[in-house]
Amino acid sequence: MTARTGSISVNTTDIFPIIKKWLYSEHDIFIRELVSNACDAITKRHTLARTSNQETPEGKVEVLIDKEAKTITFKDNGLGMNEEEIEKYIAQLAFSGAEEFVQKMKESGDEKNDIIGKFGLGFYSAFMVAEKVEVESLSMNEGAKPARWICEGDTEYSFEDSDKSEVGTEITLYINDESAEFLDSWKTRETLGRYCDFMPYSIYLKDLNEIARVTAENAKAEKEEDKKPIPDNDIINDSEPLWKKDPASLKDEDYKNFYRKLFPMDPEPLFWLHLNVDHPFTLQGILYFPKLNPNKPVNDGNIKLYSKQVFVSDNVKDVIPEFLGLLKGAIDSTDIPLNVSRSALQGDPNIKKISNYIVKKVSESLKKLYKNERERYENAWEDIGLFVKYGVVSDPKFDELMRDKVLFKNSDKKYVTLGEYSEQVPEKYTEKMKGKVIYFEEGVSDSNLRTQLLEEGIHAISTDSYIDPHFMQHTEMKKQGETETKYQLVDNAIEEILESAEASADDMKVKDLFTGFLVGEKDEKNPAQMEIEVKNFKNSKTAAYFKIDEQMKRFANMTRQMGNAGFDMPSKKTLVVNPSHILVQNTMKLSEGKKDLADKMAHYIHDLAAISGEGLDDQQRKDFVIRSQDLMSELSNLAI
């Protein structure tokens, strides 16, 4: 056949510079596009063969690297093409408005704009890394003649005779100097692993130079046992990922092994969810509930999105609600519309349906675990609690399904739901505690007060300062049915629960003593004015404690967690002194003759209240030790 030339049918000669410029930020994507095209060709051959009762070989894709020749060849045994088909599907870029598109790109200067595929450019991603591309193909149609197409990175191309004898297509890229890294097999292997790890046909990576080297060494070997295996059978992908298999045929170890493949550095997952639906949309996948590492930030790429087993993206915020991003795994759907690069999602009704379905299945999985394996659910709560609470706050559907399954630790360190907490309230306090949940912040709220409440049969739940302020605010504002919830710090709730006598004239002397001591007292952590209250609690084991304005405290916590790390709003603090306590009573006795010593005792009681609550910083702790030693010395001398 005489060589025939032609011109790619676009109305601009600028298309190749545009491809190279605007796709360069993702230049490794050419491997995914060409391998994906090869898999599509194999699928089409198998489909056509079934309709005509033809036998076909097992599908495979070979990626051949020849570093010396500076080529990478993508070889498949798909349906192949004749010369006419090559010209139709490759040489004629059938996209309208090419000139307007190119002009728009020039004017915007937006180099991040991704255009692969939007204009039939999947194959042309090869020109990001190649200075010349050859396509050699033989169609599966009987009597077809092989054809070779050659293009050197401009709109001119030529056809030449080919002696290809096997059905399929070979695309050979002559790699340019800027992309020489892909001639190293480790780089191409890495890229194949990222994009093609689960494509539906076996993918072989062959380093032709290494094969030649080993073959030559074997030819020189005198003994058969000295010969090395030829490295030409290296399959780099798993053509049947776990999500394609029947869950009934799988064991726990299968899921764990697949998780280790996806996330090799992670500890073993807690449990998982196998997704499989084919109507009204297609979706398969496996989502894992991982053990959370508080010292390791949560990555956006925890859930990988595939389309027909081709990796698309690890940014799935448009498909999966943000709170589910704490999960890990993979989902595969052909019903998620993608742009040509297969790396960005476009608006579509199916997106919302898929999102709702995943939320429903995740919540159903958790509810089933809660109902049937409560102990396992509780053991996992430390890792899944943040995720569940975040979901309740951020997603109305998840809130509806999971709010009553949220757990907190009570004063006995046992997990309870909010409903179970209410059921624990003693009958005599039912009216006082109606709709009320008493809580404390671990390491902050006064432990003595919790003990006193527990002696009355009333528990307090443990909270953190990260997600719980948001959760409490949410559940207070958005009640479910007739259930109304009001959270109250143990420091603020104690006086409503414990009985207290009416303040007497002597109690007012207590207030005067502490007020006088605290005048001008500067609190660096809370510079707002401190107030003094006297509450005469019966049988109380606490001499004094601090109350802090609850709404201001919650607001400060939420603001810090929303990114204002330096935010430190002054909060209103109230020192509540109990004149019934023996320590306060003895301080008052000392005030009658030893005012200086009484002031030191008052300061000591103040410090104990601070230690029992939010604690002391380094300087305050040093001052406390010095004052305590001074006080103890003076009291010892008094006793002697």
Based on C-alpha coordinates, what's the Rg of the chain?
36
Sign of the CA dihedral running 302, 308, 312, 318: negative
- On whether both 623 and 569 belong to a single domain, the answer is yes
The model's pTM is 0.75
Given a cut of 50, the residues of the chain with pLDDT beneath it are 11-12, 23-24, 94-101, 110-120, 340-344, 520, 525-528, 566-567
Q: Residue 111 is part of a domain; what is its CATH number? A: 3.30.565.10
47 token code pair: 């489909």
Q: What is the pLDDT of residue 124?
A: 80
CA distances to 146, 231, 345, 413, 437 from 341, in Å = 30, 32, 10, 52, 52
Point out the domain boundary residue: 496, 511, 529. 496
Identify residue 583 by its one-letter amino acid code. Answer: L
Residues 6 or more apart in contact with residue 290 via CB below 8 angstroms: 263, 266, 267, 269, 270, 302, 326, 327, 328, 383
Identify residue 227 by its one-letter amino acid code. Answer: K
**Is residue 212 one of the residues assigned to a domain?**
yes
Q: What is the Cα–Cα distance from 464 to 561, expressed in whole angstroms?
A: 11
Closest by CA to 242, choosing from 293, 193, 276, 210, is 276
- On whether both 537 and 567 belong to a single domain, the answer is yes
Q: What is the pLDDT of residue 250?
A: 95
Let me know if 622 is exposed, middle or buried by CB neighbors in 10 A (0-12, 13-18, 19+). Answer: exposed
- On whether both 482 and 509 belong to a single domain, the answer is no
Q: Residue 259 is part of a domain; what is its CATH number? A: 3.30.230.80
- On whether both 489 and 511 belong to a single domain, the answer is no
Q: In angstroms, how far is the first alpha carbon of the chain from the final one? A: 121
255 token code pair: 């899921």
Q: What is the pLDDT of residue 119?
A: 39
Residues 6 or more apart in contact with residue 123 via CB below 8 angstroms: 33, 34, 37, 90, 171
Q: What is the DSSP letter of 424?
A: T
- 191-228 burial by CB neighbour count: b if 16+ within 10 A, else e? bbeebbbbbbbbbbbbbbeebeebeeeeeeeeeeeeee
3-class SS of residue 306:
strand
Q: What is the Cα–Cα distance from 366 to 373, expressed in whole angstroms?
A: 10
Give the strand order in the sheet containing 486-489. 461-463, 436-441, 486-489
**Is residue 424 one of the residues assigned to a domain?**
yes
Q: What is the pLDDT of residue 11?
A: 44
- On whether both 37 and 108 belong to a single domain, the answer is yes
Q: What is the pLDDT of residue 408?
A: 96
Q: What is the Cα–Cα distance from 149 to 336, expressed in whole angstroms?
A: 34
**Is residue 174 one of the residues assigned to a domain?**
yes
**Is residue 379 one of the residues assigned to a domain?**
no
Point out the domain boundary residue: 349, 372, 395. 372
Split into its structural domains, the chain has a count of 4
Q: Residue 506 is part of a domain; what is its CATH number? A: 1.20.120.790
pLDDT tens digits, residue range 84-136? 988 887 766 533 334 444 555 555 554 444 443 443 457 888 888 999 999 99
- On whether both 474 and 513 belong to a single domain, the answer is no
The distance from CA 169 to its chain's CA centroid, rounded to whole angstroms, is 40
Strands 436-441 and 328-332: unpaired
CB 83 within 8 A of CB 145: yes
CB 59 within 8 A of CB 235: no
Q: What is the pLDDT of residue 292?
A: 77
- On whether both 347 and 474 belong to a single domain, the answer is no
**Is residue 388 one of the residues assigned to a domain?**
no
- On whether both 145 and 292 belong to a single domain, the answer is no
Point out the domain boundary residue: 496, 527, 559. 496
Q: What is the Cα–Cα distance from 334 to 282, expressed in whole angstroms?
A: 6
Give the strand order in the sheet containing 271-277. 271-277, 283-289, 328-332, 303-307, 310-313
**Is residue 193 one of the residues assigned to a domain?**
yes
**What DSSP element (H or E) covers 207?**
strand 202-207
The parent domain of residue 14 ranges over 4-226
- On whether both 206 and 255 belong to a single domain, the answer is no
- On whether both 484 and 630 belong to a single domain, the answer is no
Q: What is the pLDDT of residue 51?
A: 82
**Is residue 396 one of the residues assigned to a domain?**
no
- On whether both 285 and 306 belong to a single domain, the answer is yes
**What DSSP element (H or E) covers 106?**
helix 98-108
CB 583 within 8 A of CB 547: no
CB 18 within 8 A of CB 124: no
Q: What is the pLDDT of residue 280?
A: 83
Identify residue 98 by its one-letter amino acid code. Answer: A
Q: Residue 468 is part of a domain; what is its CATH number? A: 3.40.50.11260
- On whether both 528 and 467 belong to a single domain, the answer is no
pLDDT tens digits, residue range 449-479? 888 888 888 999 998 867 888 899 899 888 7
266 token code pair: 């992670």
Beta-sheet strands, E only, within 479-525: 486-489, 500-501
Strands 530-534 and 573-577: parallel
**Is residue 425 one of the residues assigned to a domain?**
yes
| Residues forming a β-bridge with 168 | 138
- DSSP, residue by residue, 332-368: E-SSS-B-TTS-SB---HHHHHHHHHHHHHHHHHHHH
Q: What is the Cα–Cα distance from 328 to 285, expressed in whole angstroms?
A: 11
| Residues forming a β-bridge with 174 | 71, 132
